[in-house]
Amino acid sequence: MALAAARRVLLHAGSRLGRREALDGARRFANKRVLVEMEDKAGVAVMKFKNPPVNSLSLEFLTEFVISLEKLENDKTFRGVILTSDCPGVFSAGLDLTEMYGRNPAHYAEYWKAVQELWLRLYLSKLIIMSAINGASPAGGCLVALTCDYRIMADNPKYTIGLNETLLGIVAPFWFKDNFVNTIGHRAAEHALQLGMLFPPAEALKVGVVDEVVPEDQVFSKTRSVMAQWLAIPDHSRQLTKSMMRKATADNLIKQREADIQYFVSFVSRDSIQKSLQVYLEKLKQKRG
């Protein structure tokens, strides 16, 4: 409910803030945290994550993300979206732990619903969605990449990608797992999830977490050229095919969405988890301070 309200406000604000301008045939709407560059001719929009320092998936960021996506879905001009980062070295660091610490149950519930919403929107999107992974992509950052139709990663061994939840003492939600199994298979997913593996680019390619690894300065251009191949496919057929492949997995969350929220709220409300988060966040603060 709070999310819905926030979205209404932001959608409204978006139409004011979004100041669409014609710039060499490119339009743009400048949200605070998701910069959307629209190239009408190509039918492709670029969504740049700009939530420094590490593109945490804060409630506000999630809300802007979903709204920007909705706008693009409803604008017939666009057929493809490229997700990439505006923050050097990080694609997205995943869930925002400050949304999970020291708040009330209603906030936790709202936050988790927003995380679910983003995943459902991305995973089932009618648009061709690709990620140009130009930085680290752990946990929720990896999830965003996993929803895409194609993933290209910069060949920089400092960047890693994976669902590393166990390393943090938590467990990847079942729908993260379902998306992961669909992408790399049951055994590789079991292995990687148990160990919380973060793969450097070459390993990520080998196990199938990403589809291609290219030199860092070519990540974006390469993603554009692969997008061009996908744009050659009739939309209607491609969309129905994508839905056929993914609907059962998405339905698996949809049918137990409320239970999943309740589970998250009760899990995160535990004293032990709150204590862990506190310690972790203080460490992070000192590091950055």
Q: Which residues bind its own copies (CB under 8 A)?
A: 149-150, 165-172, 174, 177, 181-187, 189-191, 193-196, 208, 211, 229-230, 233-234, 236-238, 240-242, 244-246
Judged by beta carbon, residue 131 or residue 183, the one nearer its own copies is 183
How many CB atoms lie under 10 A from the CB of residue 163? 28
Report, in Å, the least distance between residue 284 CB and its own copies: 19
Q: Is 163 a catalytic residue?
A: no
Place of tokens 């535990």: 270
- Quick check: is 60 catalytic? no
Match 């505006």 to its residue by tokens: 86
3-state helix, strand, coil in the chain (%, to 5): 55, 20, 25
Of 10, 62, 69, 95, which residue is the catalytic one? Answer: 95
Instruction: Encode 128-157 in three state secondary structure.
Output: EEEEEECEEEEHHHHHHHHCCCEEEEECCC
Q: Locate all alpha helices (DSSP H) within 208-256, ordered by sequence.
A: 219-231, 235-254
Residue 165 known to be catalytic:
yes
Which residue lies nearer to its own copies by CB, 25 or 185? 185
- Cβ at position 183, least distance to its own copies in Å: 5
Q: Which is nearer to its own copies, 27 or 151 (CB)?
A: 151
Smallest separation, CB 45 to its own copies (Å)? 19
Burial 124-140 (b: 16+ CB within 10 A, else e): bbebbbbbbbbbbbbbb
- In the complex, minimum distance from the CB of residue 191 to its own copies, in angstroms, rounded to a whole number: 8
In degrees, rounded to 5, the angle at the alpha carbon of residue 178 between the alpha carbons of residues 160 and 170 is 60
Nearer to its own copies, 114 or 189 (CB): 189
The SS3 assignment for 199 reads strand
- What is the Cα–Cα distance from 92 to 144, expressed in whole angstroms? 8
Minimum CB–partner distance for residue 211 and its own copies (Å)? 8
Nearest Cα neighbor of 144 from 100, 210, 193 is 210
> Exposure string (b/e) for 68-105, b if CB count within 10 Å is 16 or more?
bbebbeeeeebbbbbbbbbbeebbbbbbbbebbbebee
Q: Name the active-site residue from 164, 196, 205, 277.
A: 164
Q: Which of 39, 99, 110, 165 is catalytic?
A: 165
**Identity of the residue, 6 or 161, whose beta carbon is nearer to its own copies in the bound complex:** 161
CA 243 to chain centre: 19
CB-nearer residue toward its own copies: 171 or 281: 171
Residues annotated as catalytic (active site), given as ranges:
95, 140, 164-165
